[in-house]
């Protein structure tokens, strides 16, 4: 079943996936119960000559209990899903942990402009480096992504990291992730952004610590 999703390589992706499965089991049980009952009733109570339907209006509390009690169970299951959801949400979006490194991603029709702060770790200084559609990060480090947009709304989507966040012109939105496994992953745009929306795609390169140091040395050789 895990093959439904792309491979998860982020620290919080497992939380999202397990919440998904919790909801799947709960809704799956309701699915089987309701569809099963419908099927059984349709067969068992199909019209037969000379047989009269029962007269059950279901307005008295005693009769309505047949739907109110399952309704109450729905309330409890909803609260369970909400409580689990609140925990996961608080961890992922509720706060942004202090980042080990920071990059700025500026979306525009139809590219991700990725701006690295360089050795001084600060954006907006002379050692900044811009690369289009290539995001290089080390595994095991918290990466803060400052999202901006130059024109329309885009959505920064990292399927393998279970991260999605809209980039809105006029705003600076901070997202974060921590990749767990080195590799090359795609960064599609998930919000309709014009005729080039389909195909607006970047690459996330997750390096091991040594590879990442090597990449940094190549880019900022004077250091």
Partner 1 sequence: MKIFSTDHKTIAKQYLSLGLFWAIVGGLLTHLMRWQLAYPDTEVPGWGFIAPDFYNMVVTMHGTIMVFFVAMPILLAAFGNFLIPLMIGAQDMAFPRLNRLSFWVFALASAVLLASFFVPGGAASAGWTGYPPLSAKAEYTGVNWGLNLWLLALALEFVSFLMGGINFLTTTINLRAPGMTFFRLPLIVWMQITAAVLFMLSVGPLIAGAVMLLMDRVVGTTFYLPEGGGQPLLWQHLFWFFGHPEVYVILLPGLGIVLEIMPVFSRKPIFGYRPIIYSTIAAGMLSFIVWAHHQFLSGMDPRLAMPFSITTIVISVPFALIVFAMIATLWRASISFPTPMLFAIGTLSIFIIGGLTGIFNGSAPVDIYIHDTYFVVAHFHYTLFSATFFAGFAGLYYWFPKMFGHMMNEILGKIHFWLTFIFFNAVFIPMHFVGLGGMMRRIANPMQYDFLQPLQPINVFITVAAIFLLLSQIPFVINFLWSLFRGRVAERNPRQANTLEWTALSPPLHDNFERVPVVYRSPYEYSSPESPEDWLPQDQPPAVAQS
Q: Binding to partner 1 (CB under 8 A): which residues in 126-165?
A: 151-153, 155, 157, 159-160, 162-165
Phi (first) and psi of residue 115, to 5 degrees: -115, 120
User: Do 178 and 162 touch, CB atoms closer than 8 A?
Assistant: no
Closest distance between partner 1 and the C-beta of residue 142, in Å?
Answer: 17
Q: Which stretch binds partner 1 (CB under 8 A): 50-58, 120-128, 130-138, 211-219?
A: 50-58
- Of 78-137, binders to partner 1 (CB under 8 A) are 78, 81-82, 85-86, 88-89, 92-94, 109
DSSP for 129-188, written as a single string: EEEESEEEEETTSEEEEEEEESSS-EEEEEGGGTEEEEE-TT--EEEEEEB-S-EEEEEE
- Of 162-181, binders to partner 1 (CB under 8 A) are 162-166, 168-171, 173
Give the nearer residue to partner 1 in terms of CB position, either 88 or 139: 88
Asked if 188 is part of the footprint of partner 1 (rule: CB under 8 A), the reply reads yes
Asked if 57 is part of the footprint of partner 1 (rule: CB under 8 A), the reply reads yes
For partner 1, how many residues bind (rule: CB under 8 A)?
84
User: Do 147 and 173 touch, CB atoms closer than 8 A?
Assistant: yes
Please give the distance of CA 183 from its chain centroid, rounded to a whole number. 19
């Amino acid at each position: 079943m895990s093959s439904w999703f792309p491979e998860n390589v982020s620290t919080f992706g497992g939380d999202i996936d397990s919440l998904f499965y919790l909801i799947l089991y709960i809704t799956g049980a309701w699915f089987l119960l309701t569809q099963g009952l419908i099927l059984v009733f349709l067969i068992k109570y199909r019209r037969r000559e000379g047989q009269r339907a029962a007269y059950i209006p279901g307005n008295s509390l005693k009769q309505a209990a047949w739907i109110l009690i399952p309704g109450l169970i729905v309330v409890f299951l909803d609260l369970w899903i909400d409580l689990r959801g609140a925990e996961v949400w608080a961890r992922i979006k509720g706060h942004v942990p202090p980042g080990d490194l920071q990059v700025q991603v500026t979306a525009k029709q139809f590219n991700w402009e990725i701006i690295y702060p360089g050795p001084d770790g600060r954006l907006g200084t002379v050692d900044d480096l811009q690369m289009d559609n290539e995001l290089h990060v080390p595994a095991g480090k918290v990466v803060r992504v400052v999202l901006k947009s130059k024109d329309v709304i885009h959505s920064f989507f990292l399927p393998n990291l279970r991260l999605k966040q809209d980039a809105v012109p006029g705003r600076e939105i901070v997202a974060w992730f921590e990749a767990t496994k080195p590799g090359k992953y795609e960064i599609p745009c998930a919000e309709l952004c014009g005729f080039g929306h389909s195909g607006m795609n970047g690459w996330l390169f997750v390096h091991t610590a040594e590879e990442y140091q090597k990449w940094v040395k190549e880019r900022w050789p004077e250091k």
